[in-house]
Structure 1
Amino acid sequence: MDIAILGAGVAGASAALMLSRQGHRVRVYERRPGPATMGAGVVLWPNASFVLAELGLLPRVAALGGRLNRMYRSDQAGMSLGHVDIEPLAQLMGYPAYAILRHDLQALLLEQLAARGIEVAYGCDAVRIEDGANGRATVHFANGQSTCPDLVIGADGRKNSVARLYVAGENAPVYQGFVNWIGVAEASSPLVDEIAVFDYWGQGERFGCVTVNRNKVYWAGAQVQAVAEEDGPIAREFVEQCFQAWPSQVGRIIRSTPANGIRKIHVYDHDPLPVWHRGTVLLIGDAAHAPLPTSGQGACQALEDAWHLAAYLPATQDDLASALAVFTQARSAKTAAITNQGRVFARALFDTDAEACRLRNERAGKELGDAGALAAAWGAGLPLAALGGQASG
């Protein structure tokens, strides 16, 4: 089939790679004028590593990123709230977990697209989708171009998704009441002691950092903010002031970030959709399901979409409608659960009531240790031999 993918992010690029391997003719359209990324870094949990292994990219990811060993939780004074070893989760699921800069992951995917001869048309901002000839949808771009392929895949993000507007009749994301200040810190001497996730919990505030290597970490400081404003750069001194009373590691990481390298992002997600497709237009990634960063699964689920879509999509249009319906059924329950769990975690994490935060911190250690439950949830629907899983498609 001829397939147009709107969006060259993780979802769109990985879907293009997977579908081209199945023999489909794929072209990717990106609204930005060139390669760009949102966010500092990403944790690729074992379910994402499975998909990257299927694409033959896991060794490259391992070389670019850091293999995560533990996750630590502390309060804003640095008192431990417990830790969990990640290796049992990796053993249960059969794949390791990696931390990688989003820029590096995106560059790797785009490099693979070029190697396979898959064109990414930059500066193609889709402005509307309408019913076209022979039951196929037509995508119109701001530059006057249009395309009418056999299938349109909307991987055009959580904000202003033209594909979501066409499929669902709405595309407004839901602001969840907090902001992230994000950055990448790098120094000539170690910033942290090990390749791990470090998570500090405050009262209506949070600081998390993830190790790529001991001298390089990406991080997000977060704070409750009732009203959404404009995203954009933020002064390093402002963020440092916000966390000046927190553990010394937090301040050291902020100061090791380029002064112009910190960005303020208002955090949105989407209510789960019951239907991901209309006619020959299908949603994937954040356009279909945009969980909060507190879920830890945004990029992972985008990669899963790509793998499942390749498994379900027929070679021709003959049975396309039923294939898209089955794909949606296979993916919607898992992604909706992840979205809802991300919201529940965020509500607890950004609670501003002191007593509620104290009780949350008491529970934190008990909630960290169930690798089996995480493996079952994140591995659902994937053929992970260690879990006894079978491919769904």
Structure 2
Amino acid sequence: MTGRSIAIAGCGPCGLASALLLARAGNRVVVFERFTQPQPIGSGLMIQPTGLAVLRQLGLAGRIMEEGARINRLHGMAAKRVVLSVGYDALKARPAMFGIGIHRASLFAALYDALQAEGIALRTGHTITGSVMHGSQRCLRFEDGQTSEPFDLIVDALGTRSALVSGPSGQLPYGALWASLDWPEGFDLPRDTLSQRYHLSSTMAGVLPLGKGSGPEERLAFFWSLKGSDHARWQDAGLDRWKAQVRNLWPICEPLLDQIARPDQLTFARYAHRTLAHPAEEALIHIGDAWHSASPQLGQGANMALLDAWALSLALARNADVAAALKDAVSLRRAHVGIYQWLTWLFTPVYQSDSRVLPFIRDRLVGPLSRLWPANKIQAAMVAGLVANPLPALELDGR
């Protein structure tokens, strides 16, 4: 059924993808955004085969693959031990499996350009503080005390700290500093690999190739694990002390450090782990991080959000009643979401925590086993987002 009035709360990739899918199905869509000028937040991310399947439906996969960097494997070391070795080629039954490293700005621009090209309504400068029912419809409330017109459905794509969700955010102790940098000439890391270095579970550095985006030069994302409670001390200590820590862990990063002259070149991202038991309410559904926020250890955030957006569009197309459609959308995603929330909860302390026992087990047992069958295939499926085989139920083709 089409012709419903739908408000999308949030103009990130999750909200933009939802707006495109629902507008193309014939619904009347309005996107609400708090910024005067919509903009991406953050540095790099990984598009997995799951997310790419949705981008194909949106007609944007070609652009994303052209602007991003094809990632064929993930590789991590602690001292001289290989503790992470995941290759997409382990998924031999699924040809052409790979990830795409891309700047958030490139993903945002592809979706935003499509939104503008299709003339979907966008209302900026609207900070959402809540919602209120109006008969069988729902209105958004804004910071200035005003409310929107009533909608048949509000889609909450506001992320982890959504004002439409009550209760604790589930904030995790660790986050990370991120910087988007040029790929230095002669930089001796493979351009098809997410590379990481660890000391215990408390210190992690990583390099994610990002491709060229819309520019002429290859780019990368550099990230450094940091506890939220240590961020102020990091700022006070100054860049020189931090750079010495990076050099000590991973000397190859010197040409990256040379590009960082100011603290504001590094963005500190906080992570959270929370799963709503009931993501659908009357005339309201929470999707993406608003429903299931998690650390980025398995690189699933944007991909899970894209799958949520697709599931919602599919459910609305095959259910005349909004309440039935929301129940259907949640049902389509609940198992996959539940499995990945559990897996992320399980693996996050292995790579970001104060534990000394977990990294010992990781370095001496998990790392070596990950290079052997069937552990290598299981890990590759986990990273690709394909555990629980989510695509067939969503009528998506991952090839």
1:154-193 → structure 2 map (5 Å cutoff): 154-159=156-161, 161-165=162-166, 170=167, 172-191=168-187, 192-193=189-190
Matched residue type, 1:378: G
TM-score, length-scaled by structure 2: 0.86
Q: Is the 8 A contact 1:47 1:300 kept in 2?
A: yes
CA distance in 1, matches of 2:19, 2:241: 40
What SS does the aligned partner of 2:19 have?
Answer: helix
Distance 1:154 1:182, change over 3 A: same
- The offset of 1:20, in angstroms, is 1.4
Shift, 1:360, TM fit: 1.3
Match of 2:276 in 1: 273
- 1:311 and 2:314 matched: yes
Which amino acid in the other structure matches residue 125 of structure 2? G
1:210 aligns to what?
208
Question: What code does the residue aligned with 1:179 have?
Answer: G
What residue number does 1:261 align with? 265
In 2, are the aligned partners of 1:233 and 1:262 still within 8 Å (CA)?
A: no
For these two proteins, the number of residue pairs brought into alignment is: 378
The answer to whether the 8 Å contact 2:205/2:225 transfers is yes
2:377 pairs with one of 371, 374, 386: 371
Counterpart code for 2:165: R
Whether the 8 Å contact between 2:82 and 2:367 is mirrored in structure 1 is no
| Partner in structure 2 of residue 292 of structure 1 | 295
Partner of 1:103: 105
User: Cα distance 1:330–1:93, how it changes in 2: closer, same or farther (>3 A)?
Assistant: farther
Q: Distance in 1 between matches of 2:227 and 2:143?
A: 36
**Cα separation, 2, equivalents of 1:7 and 1:279:** 19
- Identify if the C-alpha distance between structure 1 residues 229 and 247 changes in structure 2 by more than 3 Å, giving closer, same or farther: closer
| In 2, Cα distance between equivalents of 1:139 and 1:15 | 17
Greater mean alpha carbon deviation, residues 258-267 or residues 108-117: 258-267
Q: Secondary structure of the equivalent of 1:73?
A: strand
| 8 Å CA contact 1:42, 1:99 repeated in 2 | yes
* Structure 1 unpaired stretches of 5+: 384-388
Pick from 119, 124, 130 the counterpart of residue 122 of structure 1: 124
CA contact (8 A) 2:88 2:380 kept: no
The alpha-carbon deviation at position 219 of structure 1 amounts to: 2.1
Assess if the C-alpha contact under 8 Å between 1:381 and 1:392 holds in 2: no
Distance in 2 between the 1:232 and 1:275 partners? 39
Distance 1:211 1:127, change over 3 A: same
What RMSD in Å do the two structures reach over aligned CA positions? 2.8
- Whether contact under 8 Å (2:141, 2:148) holds in the other structure is yes
Please give the per-residue CA displacement for 1:110-143, whole angstroms capped at 9, x wherever unaligned: 111001111221111112211213x111112224
CA drift of 1:103 comes to 1.0
What is the correspondence of 1:54-93 to structure 2 with a 5 Å cutoff? 54-75=57-78, 77=79, 79-89=81-91, 92=94
Contact 1:232 1:265 in 2 (8 A): no
In the aligned structure 2, how far is the partner of 1:87 from the partner of 1:233? 44
1:108 Cα deviation from its structure 2 partner = 1.1
The 1:295/1:356 distance shift into structure 2, 3 A limit, reads closer
SS of residue paired to 1:62: helix
Q: Which residue of 2 aligns with 1:14?
A: 17
Paired amino acid for 1:261: Q
- Paired with 1:357 and 1:226, the residues of 2 have a C-alpha distance of 21
**SS in structure 2 of the partner of residue 243 of structure 1:** helix
How far apart are the structure 2 equivalents of 1:87 and 1:231?
Answer: 39
Of 30-39 and 211-220, deviating more is 211-220
Shift of 1:332: 2.0
Determine the C-alpha separation between the residues in 2 that align with 1:230 and 1:261. 17
Worse-matched range after superposition: 121-130 or 217-226: 217-226
TM value normalised by structure 1: 0.87
Tell me how far apart the structure 2 counterparts of residues 378 and 325 of structure 1 sit (CA, whole Å).
Answer: 23
Question: Which residue among 145, 148, 152 is the counterpart of 1:146?
Answer: 148
Distance 2:240 2:150 in 1: 50
Q: Letter of the aligned partner of 1:285 in structure 2? A: G
1:245 aligns with 2:248: yes
8 A contact 1:231–1:265 mirrored in 2: no
Q: Which residue of 2 aligns with 1:43?
A: 46
After superposition, the Cα gap between the structure-2 partners of 1:334 and 1:266, relative to the gap in structure 1 and judged at 3 Å, is: same
Match of 2:214 in 1: none
Q: Which runs of 5+ in 2 are unaligned?
A: 212-216
Q: What secondary structure sits across from 1:162 in the alignment? A: coil
In 1, the alpha carbon distance for the partners of 2:126 and 2:111 equals 19
Change in 2 beyond 3 A, CA 1:382/1:22: farther
Of residues 250-259 and 66-75 in structure 1, the stretch that sits farther from structure 2 once superposed is 250-259
